[in-house]
Structure 1
Amino acid sequence: MEEKKILKRSEIPEQYTWNLKDIYNDVNEWNDDLAKVYELLKKVEDYKGKLSSDAKTLLSWFEFNDELGELISKVYGYSSLEADQDVSNSETQARKGKALSAYVAINSALSFADTEIMEIADDKLEEFFKEEEGLELYRLAIKRIRHRKDHMLSANEERIIAATGEMANGPATIGNVFRNADIKFPDVEDSEGNKHKLTQGTYISLMESSDRKLRENAFKTFYETWKDHAALSAAILDAHTKQQTFFSKIRKYNSNLEAALDATEVPTSVYMNLIDTVHKHMDSMYRYMKLRKKLLNVDELHMYDLYNPIVADVDEKITFEQAKENVFEAIKPLGEDYAKVVRTAYDNRWLDVYENEGKRSGAYSSGLSTPHPYILLNHKDNLNSQFTLIHETGHTMHSYLSVHNQPKVYNDYVIFVAEVASTCNEVLMMKNLLSKTTDKKKRAYLINYFLEQFRTTLYRQTMFAEFELKINEIEENGETLTSEVMNKIYYDLNKLYYGEDVVVDEGIALEWSRIPHFFYDYYVYQYATGFSAAIALATKILKEGESAVKNYLKFLSSGCSADPISLLKIAGVDMSSPAPIEEALKEFDNLITEMEELL
């Protein structure tokens, strides 16, 4: 396997780094806007105790809130992007800390508003809508605030809770620094004795190697290192789960799950439906594992045998430039207007492409509205990175279209629908690649990759969701989440999800400690629901053409102008039923059958 040196930030060619000057030319401009945030905050006092006085004041409040929200989003967005370039840089981390403090100050200062809006009598509020035409724009926003009435506290209590924001974010911040900057791994050897750099960023690429000894060494070394820090990892995640429990209880929710999903207007039944439906189709995963074991020709299929391609000698080097062109080929069905914006993003440095020392691991789209979203990558020249590129492009386009088609108050969207946009792009790419591949070996390689998307997205993320549900239930019952407790839960879930044909190695019990998404409060299930919806949508787009594309783009342009289940119905998918998950799992079975026939 070719070893690639991890460069310093200064060694990365400028064209492969994002251009943060689109936001601010220099730090002085950022400081000026941070100062403006605090100046605007002084105006909050003008509204306290007055939101129910008249329609004009209430409208002015929402317009002020939009202005302040956009400014702090820009200030925090810049500092966060800058900090992620090198998480060990104390100067940029300090700026991010200042921005976070400003966010907390805003939440604290504005905390009175929801309570005041809830206390407006229904008939009086209707009069406000009649008196002030501009207030109609905020009707849905007001409805959402009043919907939370049963979970709101007094104005003073809300102010105290808002002031705890920075402190409550502590476990996630500490965990992020620990995972990305502090923890270090020894180099690992391949079957020929060559050394390979092991990091959070290189781990999966090592697990994809055809060299089984390298995979085994990487797996064991990786999780032995995590084991050395298990108590710390557990304490951090336990602290985070404790704060989740505190906030859900104080707001009178029945569970942390209900509290998290209520914020995004998703019924808890959708979460439980996902787990139940996947459980009913465990036999499909077991069938895939049996096939993988057979095709790898191993006596025992270990956890370190799950990522490498089961079709040998087909994996090709795909440069970043090639990956971009393949993205354009895949998104052709979505129309020229869609592609034009993507080209603008790629040509004008909205992307930060390659790993560098200290750079945050993984990938994301910032969703920044002003001036545009940014994409963070840690690109390797392989098929996986090509799919990551089109995935994050999907997020970016969802943000871009929502911002350009919705007013400020509705131009954001909840993560439940965001994962649909990104994953639909991935499915379009896979179907495009399969449509033009007749060579049996290459086709089998692509199908293997697609099967892995089902394993890692639909099954694995559902397993993550079940783990998160279980640890929250333990915390809600007043018990402490030790590493031993979490290791057992996670190990047992791996045995359940992978079945008897896989040797569930002891090290995998520590995998929970490296997953940042467990700090995102019931986030991961949306990858699985999003994948299921994406399968249905991509199929519609390719079969029905213009009418399906029109509905899909309308969905992408809708921001949060309705609840996410209703928004998906615009595009033709009903996630309140098990149908999309069943449809995806049926395709999984069909792909396994074709793989069996090809090989």
Structure 2
Amino acid sequence: MSERHIIPKRNELKPEDTWSTEDLYPSDGAFWEAFTLEKEKAQALTAYEGRLGESGTLLYRYFQEKEEAEEAVERLYTYTSLKSDEDTKNSVYQGMKGQMMSWLVQWQQEMAFETPELIALTEEQLAAFYREEPKLALYRRYLERVRRKKAHILSPSEEALLAAAGEMADAPDRIYGNFVNADLTFPSVQDTAGTIYPLTNGSYGTLMLNQDRCLREEAFQHLYETYEKFKNTTAAILNAHVRQNVFFARARKYGSCLEAALDRTEVPVAVYHQLIQAVHENMQPMYDYMAFRKRQLGVEELHMYDLYVPVVGDAEEEISFERAKEDVIDALGIFGEEYQAVLKSSFEQRWMDIYENEGKRSGAYSCGAKVHPFILLNHKDTLNSEFTLVHELGHAMHSYLSNQNQPAVYADYVIFVAEVASTCNEALLMHYLLNRTKDKKRRAYLLNYFLEQFRTTLYRQTMFAEFEEKIHAMAEEGEALTADVLKNLYYQLNQLYYGEHVTVDEEIAIEWARVPHFYYNFYVYQYATGFAAAIALSQRILKEGKPAVEDYLRFLKGGCSTDPISLLKIAGVDMTTAEPVEKALQYFKGLLAEMEELMA
């Protein structure tokens, strides 16, 4: 008789394994009461329209009241997001989030007066305002960030119109999320022993680690055959997302969607192009790794479903959440007692939602709420899940330390630095595990995992970034982003990045349809740049100790108090050069050499 792995319903989970949304609001009723009250307070800010240039005292009072309103609105939004992600099939919470989003767009439209009025201030006016109200100096950087975009800010009426279009602009992402997480279903798969496994977007990654090649191949084919059936729908959704990016970039007079996206975080476009170029110039280590993987697996053809399975299969072990937790706490002890104490409290205070349930959003993320961060996981008792835990805790601790050490206006760090803390944590956990491992097979297994991090983050995310840049460039030239166009481009990039030692299966051409990050508007490149920066920083921390840790913690506490390039320089890495990427790829090459020696 075959065994069937069952995914539990939400109400079957233990409360201690779920996140504490009651820390935001004790009940849905309390949320609705707060929603009514905070909406009125937030909308009262519209009384400042047309008045921001009156005096420094008034402008300071406006910023203070706006901060209070934004903190309340963020709390409301966080609650609806977390509850809707718990079970995407729950129409109550989907409706709650939809109502919240509709009002949020309306409020943003009403608040669209701020930017044009701040830009209209002369330097003489601002100087007088600072003299009149010295406390206004707190918002100097905020004002500078707004005013530097003067060339891209429109008239008040045009700004209001763009803000009103926000709900429509958000539609592709929402439609895609509902389609993939709630509506899309896949056939179950079976291994050679007859065990039946449910196939979901969440379980697919675990199945790709299974040593049973027939199971992997069946999961691969069933997943992508299902996406293939909806290729025109998913292409239309992605096309709509790209078109709205083109619309907003042009409306704001940017030269490209890429320029518009990176300008939000004060990152030069050259950093994006430099990443792709550096990876293109260092493809050989990737090709060598694929040749090594092919030899170790002993296969005539290395297929796409062979890329994730460990090449040291008999060293794989089950890692419970409790064990993963202890490893993470010990590994990050290098950051000091204060950091470690907060880390321990994150488990006690239920910052995280640990296990998969029916309808739960797939993947993992950290949400840096003011009350405390929240972490979504889908833990599977694997090494990959242990690294997911340490990754998301990196985000969470970054948010926590920024919130604790920066005023609200500068507490929210920008996306460009977001992946540095998470990936630095991963590198330190790997160092910790390798140092505790004397068994050669176990060490080889861990090195294999580390090599996979380089492949999937530095190489694969750069491939994603190149795909994203190209489809936006095509749209900007007026080319239609049909399913076939997207598939052909994606397939060609896979051939380029994996090389001749890999049989690039036709099914992989539709993989773009299951990557939610393509709806995040040029987000993915930051995984690669963040990884390169994190490798550099982790090496410095391990080599220099306390001085490097102190610099790194200053970076984590920095929020957005200065631009992201400057923040990373504080930590000890310069991302305006190709050096961090090139050094990371050379490190990858050295790890592969050690792996080959161990396996010999």
TM-score interval, smaller chain: over 0.9
- 1:93 aligned residue: 94
- 1:72 aligned residue: 73
Q: Please state if 1:216 is matched with 2:232.
A: no
Aligned positions of 1:375-454 closer than 5 A = 375-454=375-454
CA distance in structure 1 between the partners assigned to 2:43 and 2:409 by the alignment? 22
- After TM superposition, give the deviation of residue 194 of structure 1 in Å: 3.2
Equivalent pair of 2:312/2:445 in contact (CA under 8 Å): yes
Equivalent pair of 1:363/1:378 in contact (CA under 8 Å): yes
- After TM superposition, give the deviation of residue 388 of structure 1 in Å: 0.3
After superposition, give the CA deviation of every residue in 1:226-248 in whole Å (9 maximum; x if it has no partner).
00000000000000000000000
CA distance in structure 2 between the partners assigned to 1:210 and 1:42 by the alignment? 57
Name the aligned partner's letter for residue 376 of structure 2: L
CA distance in structure 2 between the partners assigned to 1:84 and 1:376 by the alignment? 9
Aligned positions of 1:475-554 closer than 5 A = 475-554=475-554
Name the aligned partner's letter for residue 507 of structure 1: E
Distance change (3 Å), C-alpha of 1:443 and 1:2 = farther
Name the aligned partner's letter for residue 227 of structure 1: E
Q: Please state if 1:278 is matched with 2:279.
A: yes
Name the aligned partner's letter for residue 549 of structure 1: V
Distance change (3 Å), C-alpha of 1:418 and 1:262 = same
- 2:205 aligned residue: 204
CA distance in structure 1 between the partners assigned to 2:349 and 2:4 by the alignment? 30
Equivalent pair of 2:5/2:196 in contact (CA under 8 Å): no
What secondary structure is seen at the aligned counterpart in 1 of 2:575?
coil
Distance change (3 Å), C-alpha of 1:3 and 1:401 = farther
- 1:164 aligned residue: 165
CA distance in structure 2 between the partners assigned to 1:523 and 1:70 by the alignment? 24
Q: Please state if 1:338 is matched with 2:377.
A: no
Equivalent pair of 1:274/1:578 in contact (CA under 8 Å): yes
What secondary structure is seen at the aligned counterpart in 2 of 1:357?
coil
- 1:226 aligned residue: 227
Equivalent pair of 2:3/2:196 in contact (CA under 8 Å): no
Equivalent pair of 1:319/1:381 in contact (CA under 8 Å): yes
TM-score (norm 1): 0.99
Equivalent pair of 2:42/2:66 in contact (CA under 8 Å): no
CA distance in structure 2 between the partners assigned to 1:593 and 1:531 by the alignment? 20
Name the aligned partner's letter for residue 424 of structure 1: C
Distance change (3 Å), C-alpha of 1:439 and 1:2 = farther
- 1:40 aligned residue: 41
- 2:124 aligned residue: 123
Equivalent pair of 2:221/2:507 in contact (CA under 8 Å): yes
Equivalent pair of 2:364/2:376 in contact (CA under 8 Å): yes
- After TM superposition, give the deviation of residue 195 of structure 1 in Å: 2.3
CA distance in structure 2 between the partners assigned to 1:347 and 1:35 by the alignment? 32
Name the aligned partner's letter for residue 129 of structure 1: Y
CA distance in structure 2 between the partners assigned to 1:562 and 1:63 by the alignment? 20
CA distance in structure 2 between the partners assigned to 1:328 and 1:50 by the alignment? 51
* Residues paired across the two proteins, number: 598
Q: Please state if 1:256 is matched with 2:257.
A: yes
Name the aligned partner's letter for residue 483 of structure 1: A
After superposition, give the CA deviation of every residue in 1:270-304 in whole Å (9 maximum; x if it has no partner).
11110000000000100000000000000000000
Equivalent pair of 1:541/1:549 in contact (CA under 8 Å): yes
- 2:110 aligned residue: 109
Unaligned runs of 5+ in 2: none
What secondary structure is seen at the aligned counterpart in 1 of 2:565?
helix
CA distance in structure 2 between the partners assigned to 1:57 and 1:159 by the alignment? 23
CA distance in structure 2 between the partners assigned to 1:559 and 1:503 by the alignment? 44
Name the aligned partner's letter for residue 295 of structure 2: K
Equivalent pair of 1:41/1:109 in contact (CA under 8 Å): no
What secondary structure is seen at the aligned counterpart in 2 of 1:169?
helix
What secondary structure is seen at the aligned counterpart in 2 of 1:355?
coil
CA distance in structure 2 between the partners assigned to 1:17 and 1:231 by the alignment? 37
Name the aligned partner's letter for residue 484 of structure 2: E
CA distance in structure 1 between the partners assigned to 2:30 and 2:535 by the alignment? 44
What secondary structure is seen at the aligned counterpart in 2 of 1:365?
strand
- 1:471 aligned residue: 471
Q: CA RMSD in A?
A: 1.0
CA distance in structure 2 between the partners assigned to 1:500 and 1:320 by the alignment? 39
TM-score (norm 2): 0.99
- 1:138 aligned residue: 139
Name the aligned partner's letter for residue 458 of structure 2: L
- After TM superposition, give the deviation of residue 2 of structure 1 in Å: 8.2
What secondary structure is seen at the aligned counterpart in 2 of 1:198?
coil
- After TM superposition, give the deviation of residue 44 of structure 1 in Å: 2.5
Name the aligned partner's letter for residue 395 of structure 1: H
Name the aligned partner's letter for residue 382 of structure 1: T
After superposition, give the CA deviation of every residue in 1:335-378 in whole Å (9 maximum; x if it has no partner).
11001111111111111000000000000001111x11100000
CA distance in structure 1 between the partners assigned to 2:546 and 2:5 by the alignment? 44
- 2:303 aligned residue: 302
CA distance in structure 2 between the partners assigned to 1:19 and 1:5 by the alignment? 25
Name the aligned partner's letter for residue 515 of structure 2: I
CA distance in structure 2 between the partners assigned to 1:194 and 1:315 by the alignment? 19
- 2:319 aligned residue: 318
CA distance in structure 1 between the partners assigned to 2:516 and 2:589 by the alignment? 31
After superposition, give the CA deviation of every residue in 1:12-66 in whole Å (9 maximum; x if it has no partner).
1111001111111111221122112321234233211111111111111111211
CA distance in structure 1 between the partners assigned to 2:17 and 2:217 by the alignment? 33
CA distance in structure 2 between the partners assigned to 1:475 and 1:553 by the alignment? 41
CA distance in structure 2 between the partners assigned to 1:217 and 1:15 by the alignment? 35
What secondary structure is seen at the aligned counterpart in 2 of 1:275?
helix
CA distance in structure 2 between the partners assigned to 1:92 and 1:194 by the alignment? 35
- 1:582 aligned residue: 582
- 2:156 aligned residue: 155
CA distance in structure 2 between the partners assigned to 1:558 and 1:45 by the alignment? 31
Q: Please state if 1:595 is matched with 2:598.
A: no
After superposition, give the CA deviation of every residue in 1:464-521 in whole Å (9 maximum; x if it has no partner).
0000001001111112211100000100000000000000000000000000000000
CA distance in structure 1 between the partners assigned to 2:322 and 2:256 by the alignment? 47
- 1:568 aligned residue: 568
After superposition, give the CA deviation of every residue in 1:409-455 in whole Å (9 maximum; x if it has no partner).
00001111110001100000001111221211111100000000000
- 1:293 aligned residue: 294
CA distance in structure 1 between the partners assigned to 2:562 and 2:66 by the alignment? 20
Q: Please state if 1:192 is matched with 2:193.
A: yes
- 1:455 aligned residue: 455
Name the aligned partner's letter for residue 175 of structure 2: I
After superposition, give the CA deviation of every residue in 1:139-172 in whole Å (9 maximum; x if it has no partner).
0000001011000100011011111111110000
Equivalent pair of 1:37/1:102 in contact (CA under 8 Å): no
- After TM superposition, give the deviation of residue 3 of structure 1 in Å: 5.7
